[in-house]
Amino acid sequence: MFEGVPVHWFLVLATTMFFIGIYGFLVRKNLITMLMSLELILNSVCINFVAFNKILFPEHLEGMFFTLFIIAVAAAEASVAIAIIINIYRRLVNIDVEKMNEMKY
Amino acid sequence: MFLVFSVVIVVFSLLTVTSRRILRAATFLLFVLVSTSGLYFLLRFNFLAAIQLTLYAGGIVVLIIFSILLTSHISEKLAVPPVTKRIYAAIAAIAGAVLCILTILQTQFVQKTLDPARVHIRTIGEGMLSTGKYGYALPFEVISVLLLAAMIGSIILAKKRKD
């Protein structure tokens, strides 16, 4: 199981995932794939919080509560972002960020 | 077990950001989220792992797949980004990752002995509603208002206009 795993491994895993998300966010042009990279970034931060809580500070449950709040914020953010994306698609018929240069209608 | 989960997470998140078919990318994201929930199970946060499974893997991925189906064709392939853009993004990501990993590996952490006890659901409930020290009543209320606002906002945004 995880008993012999030092906290560094969790942090290295979370860092790798975070920067894969950053790479995706920089490279992709489709809005939905950018949103998916954002989910990767949030998820890696959650892993960080949980590993800190369990391995370094197991007396209180701060990391776990913060992860719960992060998940709730991510859900709200995803729903609002998808509503905006669908609205943009309805007006402009594509969802590429580079073709999206008009904010007025 | 930890190694299996971390290899799955890294490989599938790479596939998520590089796959050219957008629906496959969403499926790979689902695998990443499920193995993250496996990590939480390993760390014995059972409630958190269940929340991760239901909310992330069940809710957000389904929402993303629905919006993919609404906005693009399934068989459509994304255009390959230009090479210079990929190289610059990879340089930025790898430089940041190397810097962070070096800093992490040089830091000494004081590790506690692990208690194998699971977090009881009663503890979570009392922590969510208590107002004293280590109580999270205010963030709980704020997050409920935020969820309500997000719900109303997304309904209004996605609604069809009359004009």
Give the tens place of pLDDT for each residue, B80-131: 778 888 899 899 999 999 999 999 889 888 777 666 677 788 888 888 888 8
Which whole-number Å values give the CA distances from A32 to A95, B1, B41, B70, in the listed order? Answer: 8, 32, 29, 11
Last residue of a domain, one of B34, B66, B85: B85
pLDDT value for B7 = 92
For the domain that residue B37 is a member of, what is the CATH number?
1.20.120.1200
Q: Say if residue B1 is in the same domain as residue B78.
A: yes
Closest chain A residue to the Cα of B19, Cα to Cα: A33
Give the tens place of pLDDT for each residue, B40-76: 888 888 888 999 999 888 889 999 998 888 887 767 7
pLDDT value for B115 = 67
Whether A50 maps to a domain, the answer reads: yes
Whether A79 maps to a domain, the answer reads: yes
Structural domain of B3: 1-85
Q: Is the pLDDT higher at B22 or at B161?
A: B22
Whether A101 maps to a domain, the answer reads: no
Q: Is the pLDDT higher at B32 or at B158?
A: B32
Interatomic CA distance for residues B135 and A100, integer angstroms: 44
Q: Say if residue B77 is in the same domain as residue B1.
A: yes
Whether B47 maps to a domain, the answer reads: yes
Q: CB A50 to CB B119 under 8 A?
A: no
pLDDT value for A104 = 53
pLDDT value for B163 = 60
Q: Say if residue B63 is in the same domain as residue B13.
A: yes
Give the tens place of pLDDT for each residue, A18-46: 999 999 999 888 888 889 999 999 999 99
Whether B64 maps to a domain, the answer reads: yes
Residue B115's identity, in one-letter code, is D
Closest Cα in chain B, distance from residue A97 (Å): 13
pLDDT value for B33 = 92
pLDDT value for A5 = 76
Whether B96 maps to a domain, the answer reads: no
Structural domain of A48: 7-92
pLDDT value for B111 = 77
What residue ranges of chain A have pLDDT lower than 50? Answer: none
Whether A100 maps to a domain, the answer reads: no
pLDDT value for B83 = 85
pLDDT value for A8 = 86
Which whole-number Å values give the CA distances from A85 to A64, B67, B141, in the listed order? Answer: 31, 8, 28
pLDDT value for B71 = 82
pLDDT surpasses 70 at B26: yes
- The answer to whether the beta carbons of residues A35 and A78 sit under 8 Å apart is yes
Candidates B56, B151, B155; nearest CB to A71: B56
Last residue of a domain, one of B26, B61, B85: B85
For the domain that residue A85 is a member of, what is the CATH number?
1.10.287.3510
Which whole-number Å values give the CA distances from B155 to A32, B61, B67, B109, B150, in the listed order? Answer: 18, 19, 14, 46, 8
Residue with tokens 């190289």: B87
pLDDT surpasses 90 at B148: yes
Sort out which chain A residues have CB atoms less than 8 A from B151's CB and list them.
79
Total of domains in chain B: 2
Total of domains in chain A: 1
Last residue of a domain, one of B85, B105, B130: B85
Query: Which residues 12-71 of chain A have a CB within 8 Å of chain B?
Result: 12-13, 15-24, 26-30, 32-33, 35-37, 39-40, 43, 46-47, 50-51, 54-58, 60-62, 64-65, 67-69, 71
Closest chain B residue to the Cα of A5, Cα to Cα: B2
Burial of A49 (0-12, 13-18, 19+ CB in 10 A): buried
